[in-house]
Amino acid sequence: MTPPDLATAVAAAAGGAPAAPIRAALVGNPNSGKTAMFNALTGSRQKVANYAGVTVERKEGHLIAPDGRRISILDLPGTYSLRARSPDEVVTRDAVLGRLAGETPPDVVVLIADATNLRLVMRLALELRDVGRPAVLALNMIDIATRQGLEIDATRLAIELSMPVVTTVATRKRGIDELVIQIEAQAANSATAPADTWTEPSAAALRALHREAERILKACVLPPRRPDTFTGKLDSVLLHPVAGIGVLLVVLFLMFQAVFAWAAPLMDLSNAGFEALGAVMGNLMPDGLLKSLITDGIIAGVGSVVVFLPQIVILFLFIILLEDFGYMARAAFLLDKIMGGAGLHGRAFIPLLSSFACAIPGIMATRVIDNKRDRLTTILVAPLMTCSARIPVYTLIISAFIPRQQVWGVLSLQGLIFFGLYAAGLISALVVAWLVRKVFWRGAAEPFLMELPAYKIPDPMNVARNVLQRAQIFLQRAGTIILSMMILIWFLCTFPGAPAGAVGPAIDYSFAGMIGHAIQPVLAPIGFNWQMSVALIPGMAAREVAVGALGTVYAVAGADTSVLGASLAHQWSLASALAFLAWYVFAPQCASTLGVVKRETNSWRWPIIMFCYMTGLAYVASLIVYQTAVAMGAG
């Protein structure tokens, strides 16, 4: 029975009214397992990954203790000390000390420590001891520490730190019952806790704190008799300046090859499914507006987006496996020199990595960067990373225009182009960051220290949960915003009908036709026809909507869109298709991203700058690609 289940059962059996709720805050170093603990305690499914900085804002959940008492749990961003430097660390410090507006301090502070590396948490533990609020120390990942041969004297540690110590394995929900009991016991002391008098320590006080930490560690932790050589051996290859980069390129390359090779049968299957559904609905319904809306608008539009689910699942399966294994932080270490050369702060790796899923959490993750200029630079380039919403666009165009052939007998040409588009996004982000630092914000880059996480066998449940979450997000978008946009696009493509005596196709006289024809002259130099032009507008709601919009536009026009790619291959030139890809590498086709930039910078200035530079970049890149392709005979 899980703790919340157990608690509910006991509370029900007791039949009494529960006491006042307890507020507990989870604090600890980055990557010590706070979010895994939060999930284990509350039954939530917040994102957990094996690298530092995953949590950038406070999250709250709750559980019912065995005696029926409600405990609300606050998950806070990781920090090494109460002496906060970055915005996320300030949130943690203020929450712990009760300095957040409208909030009282937590009744209990739960300090989550990585048991394999207690040295890192000692300073924070001593600071919390001095603050004097009730606290519990959870020695998390104790299974790995035991396997490594570390011996920790928990009783002595509890005496030294003046707080109870429990051992836990959050990912396997071990030690959670004992932790809940200790939280309740400590909460009883909350009323008598001293008021907040914490101030920034002086240099002498910091040195004293470090000496005290060293003394406690020597007294309580016995290092392993046989030191761990596995991590060292693996790191000597994976972090090697030449071999490491080679491994990274091979890993990325295999990932993009797999996206195309493995997804193809599943994609064909779902294509056939939507085709059959369209045919069935077409046969069942009488001709008319409703039939057109269902088959041309909803099935052709939404279906053309949903078929890309296999690609998204496979790509995220790879990314999540690499994260959980502990490889992503190593990749950051390898790329740090290149990123630093471009003027990006080492901590920019986390936001940029998050942006491969979606730029919105990526931009929010820039809160881990303390320097305002470094943070703004990262915000400005984060949307250039290839987010998952671009995958349907890239896959559609590549499948339609790039032949399924092998290069050098082993590599798929389609996978190679896909890899190239990801590389184009990354390289352009580095170039833009370099330009921003050179032109606007000259100055030396700040030093960056990064903690490399231990290698771990990925937890199958965590991997499955995260992959399902990505699939769910994608399908949720397809069923909500994409569906609504498809209905609107169908309306714009269908009304007003062609006038009497019209000679061209009816869609030419529709609102969509009018809008497309009005914009098209501006986009003609980059090879866009009016259908492509009109698809860009709903594409501002979400990038993948453009694929659905093309499906609907061509379906209403009477083209066979059962396989949209084949239809596009007949209607577009190769030069136009390549220009469309170039546009999507750079264009700011996402209103939500611009909105979050406004929120994070508290100004309209930066989203406007972002929109202008990305649109300019997209236009120039598409122009160069289109005109070059035409000159080479692909027009």
Partner 1 sequence: MLQSAIVFAIVAAATAYAVWRLFLRGWMKRRAAAKAAGCGPDCGCSD
In the complex, minimum distance from the CB of residue 380 to partner 1, in angstroms, rounded to a whole number: 17
Strand partners, 222: 151
Name, in order, each residue with C-beta under 8 angstroms of 349's C-beta and a sequence gap of 6 or more. 332, 335, 336, 339
In 10 A of CB 119, how many CB atoms?
11
Closest to partner 1 by CB, 231 vs 292, is 292
Segment contacting partner 1 (CB under 8 A): 144-152, 164-172, 524-532, 590-598? 590-598
In the complex, minimum distance from the CB of residue 97 to partner 1, in angstroms, rounded to a whole number: 17
In the complex, minimum distance from the CB of residue 240 to partner 1, in angstroms, rounded to a whole number: 41
Q: Are strands 108-114 and 135-140 parallel, antiparallel or unpaired?
A: parallel
In the complex, minimum distance from the CB of residue 590 to partner 1, in angstroms, rounded to a whole number: 11
Backbone angles phi, psi at 551, to 5 degrees: -60, -45
Closest to partner 1 by CB, 61 vs 132, is 61
DSSP string of 297-332, one letter each residue = IIIHHHHHHHTTHHHHHHHHHHHHHHHHHTHHHHHH
Would you call 237 exposed, middle or buried from its count of C-beta atoms within 10 A (0-12, 13-18, 19+)?
exposed
Q: x/- string (CB under 8 A) for partner 1, residues 509-548?
A: --------------------------------x-------
288 backbone φψ class: left, alpha, beta (φ>0; ψ -120 to 50): left
One of 198, 262, 434, 491 touching partner 1 (CB under 8 A): 491
The SS3 of residue 157 is helix
In the complex, minimum distance from the CB of residue 433 to partner 1, in angstroms, rounded to a whole number: 22
Per this entry, what is the length of the chain? Answer: 635
One of 496, 595, 616, 635 touching partner 1 (CB under 8 A): 595
Determine the Cα–Cα distance for residues 343 and 334; give it in Å rounded to an integer.
16
545 with 308: CB under 8 angstroms? Answer: no
Q: Are strands 221-222 and 151-152 parallel, antiparallel or unpaired?
A: antiparallel
Question: Cα-Cα-Cα-Cα dihedral of 304, 289, 536, 480, to 10°?
Answer: -60
Q: Are strands 22-28 and 70-75 parallel, antiparallel or unpaired?
A: parallel
One of 185, 205, 276, 290 touching partner 1 (CB under 8 A): 290
One of 36, 109, 142, 293 touching partner 1 (CB under 8 A): 293
User: According to CB under 8 A, which residues from 100 to 129 bind partner 1?
Assistant: 101-102
In the complex, minimum distance from the CB of residue 130 to partner 1, in angstroms, rounded to a whole number: 29
Long-range contacts of 98-101 (CB under 8 A, 24+ apart): 98/196, 99/196
Determine the Cα–Cα distance for residues 8 and 120; give it in Å rounded to an integer.
37
- Tell whether the torsion through CA atoms of 583, 585, 591 and 595 is positive or negative: negative
Is 447 among the residues that bind partner 1 (CB under 8 A)?
Answer: no
Closest to partner 1 by CB, 154 vs 591, is 591
User: According to CB under 8 A, which residues from 469 to 488 bind partner 1?
Assistant: 480-481, 483-485, 487-488
In the complex, minimum distance from the CB of residue 70 to partner 1, in angstroms, rounded to a whole number: 19
Determine the Cα–Cα distance for residues 161 and 133; give it in Å rounded to an integer.
12
Closest to partner 1 by CB, 253 vs 511, is 511
In the complex, minimum distance from the CB of residue 203 to partner 1, in angstroms, rounded to a whole number: 29
Determine the Cα–Cα distance for residues 174 and 473; give it in Å rounded to an integer.
30
In the complex, minimum distance from the CB of residue 398 to partner 1, in angstroms, rounded to a whole number: 29
16 with 75: CB under 8 angstroms? Answer: no
Determine the Cα–Cα distance for residues 104 and 254; give it in Å rounded to an integer.
51
Closest to partner 1 by CB, 236 vs 480, is 480
User: According to CB under 8 A, which residues from 39 to 98 bind partner 1?
Assistant: 87
Tokens (6 digits) for 552:
């609907």
Closest to partner 1 by CB, 92 vs 116, is 92
Q: x/- string (CB under 8 A) for partner 1, residues 341-380?
A: ----------------------------------------
In the complex, minimum distance from the CB of residue 370 to partner 1, in angstroms, rounded to a whole number: 14
In the complex, minimum distance from the CB of residue 22 to partner 1, in angstroms, rounded to a whole number: 21
Segment contacting partner 1 (CB under 8 A): 170-178, 396-404, 595-603, 622-630? 595-603
Strand partners, 74: 25, 60
User: According to CB under 8 A, which residues from 260 to 289 bind partner 1?
Assistant: 288-289
Is 610 among the residues that bind partner 1 (CB under 8 A)?
Answer: no
In the complex, minimum distance from the CB of residue 85 to partner 1, in angstroms, rounded to a whole number: 16
Closest to partner 1 by CB, 105 vs 310, is 105
Rg over alpha carbons for the chain, rounded to the nearest Å, is: 28
Is 246 among the residues that bind partner 1 (CB under 8 A)?
Answer: no
Cα 105-111-116 angle, rounded to 5 deg: 165
Closest to partner 1 by CB, 138 vs 594, is 594
Q: Could you tell me the end-to-end alpha-carbon distance of the chain, in angstroms, rounded to an integer?
A: 66
Closest to partner 1 by CB, 565 vs 588, is 588
Closest to partner 1 by CB, 267 vs 556, is 556
> What is the CB-side half-sphere exposure of residue 191 using CA atoms within 13 A?
3
Closest to partner 1 by CB, 357 vs 485, is 485
Closest to partner 1 by CB, 162 vs 484, is 484
In the complex, minimum distance from the CB of residue 538 to partner 1, in angstroms, rounded to a whole number: 9
Size of the site for partner 1 (CB under 8 A): 22
Closest to partner 1 by CB, 431 vs 591, is 591
One of 45, 207, 599, 605 touching partner 1 (CB under 8 A): 599
The one-character DSSP state at 474 is H
- By CB under 8 A, name the binding residues for partner 1: 87, 101-102, 288-290, 293, 480-481, 483-485, 487-488, 491, 541, 591-592, 595, 599, 601-602
